[in-house]
Amino acid sequence: MSTLIPCIIAGGSGTRLWPVSREAMPKPFMRLPDGESLLQKTFLRATGLPGVDRLLTVTNREVYFRTMDDYRTLNKGRCQLDFILEPFGRNTAPAVAAAALHVSRLYGDDAQLLILPADHLISDLPAFTQAVQDARALADQGWLVTFGIRPTKAETGFGYIEQGPALAHNGHQVARFVEKPDAATAQSYLDGGLHLWNAGMFCMRADVLLRELSEHAPTVLAAVDTCLSNSATKQGQRELQIELDSDTFALAEDISIDYALMERSQKVAVIPCQLGWSDIGSWQALRELVPADANGNQCNGQTVLYDVSNCYIDSKRLVGAIGLDDLIIIDTPDALLIADGKRSQEVKLIAQELKRQGHDAYRLHRTVTRPWGTYTVLEEGKRFKIKRIVVRPQGSLSLQMHHHRSEHWIVVSGMAQVTNGEREFMLDTNESTFIKPGHTHRLVNPGVIDLVMIEVQSGEYLGEDDIVRFTDIYGRVPAEAAKT
């Protein structure tokens, strides 16, 4: 059988899981109770398939370093890692088209793509492996194969796939795709036995996928082909990066692979399966993974409850509650969510409103991950902001300058190599330096332990976009509006 290239598609911001999932730290990075992220579970599931020694990931440029952090602890050099880095999201059709073109050119027209969302959970790995084997056999016969989950309830939050005539290898031709139904229709689908939940996973040969795209979504394919021709490629020993050109990628239509291709092609098959699957699409879906106590409560963290039932509580702080029923309470260092358990799908409305207001809590957590380490906003007010900065060993902030703010750096632990204007010097624990507006500066950790610093900013404007970046060892573009 031909080469199999799993392709993890990591897009979207998971707004229904706010305040844990945010634009700059989306749902795939959420930690489950066992300590692994959804992205790590997808990585292990994909690379654990027989014969897989290459993995392709299509994700946003901004979360590349966070993605590598999750992969690095699991991969340990055993698998070739290819990345297609998007400057911004354009939905799944351009992402899949880019993956197909890349795989066809590097691994051959007959190579098979296994498209996997980064943020789904599958608990029955043997059933998953068998479903992939069935899908691969159909894909070699020229089918675009999708995976349909046998429904266990009348779910109105998922799209459905209607099964058509039976095919070999436990498959069926797809009769049609169905949008999210109302409750009565969902119940009729459950009772009828012909409809499956659309899991958003696909298996297909690169040449078949490209042929079908050229017929049914030619403008998407052409735009992505042009974009790849204008994009930069970096080749490492066990890693390849393609950074998509933003100007030409913006010309690709913002459309899902379902709408662009799957609902139009006559060559779509489905493998019905039961995988212990969940898309973790809401807090209600996540709470279903956690055992309940005698009162129906599911709690993560310390709680003192009186006359409380059927509540989901996740907090790092002590939570006391009295007289509550069927609430979802999610507490993070900078935001608190309290929601009716029956309305967990509507949490996205809060995230959308925060984005409309331009509020940082839509995009960032109080602790923000960067390729060199993290920073945490400890306190802020008019004309000041205080941060705790942790720089990993051998990590380096970029050489940069701010127009509107000054910064005072104090070393808490470790050793810092500092550039401040024309001077370059070392700072030890309890030493500090003051950086005036307009002065170029850089912070490097030359040691073997974490460098921990306190940064005090002051000025008329303290936004994270007040930065001019000159050089950067991580290859980030100068125009990136983020703290370096």
Report yes or no: 58 and 46 within 8 Å, Cβ to Cβ. Answer: no
Q: What is the mean pLDDT of residues 200-216?
A: 97
3-class SS at 173?
strand
Structure confidence at residue 12 (pLDDT): 73
Domain containing residue 388: CATH number: 2.60.120.10
pLDDT at 285: 87
Residue 478 lies in a domain: no
Identify the CATH number of the domain in which residue 205 sits.
Answer: 3.90.550.10
Which range, of 303-307, 331-335, 472-476, averages the lowest pLDDT?
472-476
CA neighbours closer than 13 Å in the CB half-sphere of residue 387: 20
Phi, psi of 380 (to 5 degrees): -150, 155
Domain that holds residue 414: 366-471
- 336-362 pLDDT, tens digit each: 999 999 999 899 999 999 999 989 899
Query: Do 245 and 332 fall within a single domain?
Result: no
| Residues 295 and 274 reside in one and the same domain | no
pLDDT in tens, 401-458: 999 999 999 999 999 999 999 999 999 999 999 999 999 999 999 999 999 999 999 9
The pLDDT assigned to 478 comes to 45
Decide if pLDDT at 481 tops 70. no
Do 108 and 249 share a domain, yes or no?
yes
- In this prediction, residue 484 carries a pLDDT of 45
**Mean pLDDT along residues 17-35:** 90
Q: Is residue 371 part of a domain?
A: yes
Q: Do 195 and 315 belong together in one domain? A: no
Domain count, the chain: 3
Task: Identify whether 484 is part of a domain.
Answer: no
Q: How many CB atoms lie within 10 A of CB 187?
A: 15
Q: How far apart are CA 421 and CA 431, in angstroms?
A: 18
In a domain, 324, yes or no: yes
Number of helices (H) and strands (E) in the chain: give both, helices first: 12, 30
Query: Residue 98 and residue 145: Cα distance in Å, rounded?
Result: 18
Same domain, 373 and 328: no
Q: What is the dihedral of CA 9, 129, 180, 196, to 10 degrees?
A: 160
The pLDDT mean for the chain works out to 93
354 domain-assigned = no
Instruction: Indicate whether 246 belongs to any domain.
Output: yes
Confidence band of 1 (pLDDT split at 50, 70, 90):
low
250: phi then psi, degrees, rounded to nearest 5: -65, -20
Q: What is the pTM of this model?
A: 0.87
- Least Cα distance to 398 among 474, 479, 481 occurs for 474
**What sign for the dihedral angle of Cα 435, 437, 442, 445?**
positive
Instruction: Please tell me the predicted confidence (pLDDT) of residue 56.
Output: 97
Task: Report the amino acid identity of residue 398.
Answer: S
What is the pLDDT, as a whole number, of residue 480?
A: 41
Whether the Cβ atoms of residue 60 and residue 10 lie closer than 8 Å to each other: yes
Q: How far is CA 461 from CA 376, 382, 402, 458, in A?
A: 18, 9, 10, 8
* Pair (87, 218) in one structural domain: yes
In a domain, 177, yes or no: yes
Alpha-carbon torsion angle 145, 164, 216, 208, nearest 10: 30
271-330 pLDDT, tens per residue? 999 999 998 889 998 898 889 999 999 999 999 999 999 999 999 899 999 999 999 999
State the average pLDDT over residues 262-276.
96
Looking up tokens 């489950």 gives 32
Query: Could you tell me if residue 264 is inside a domain?
Result: yes
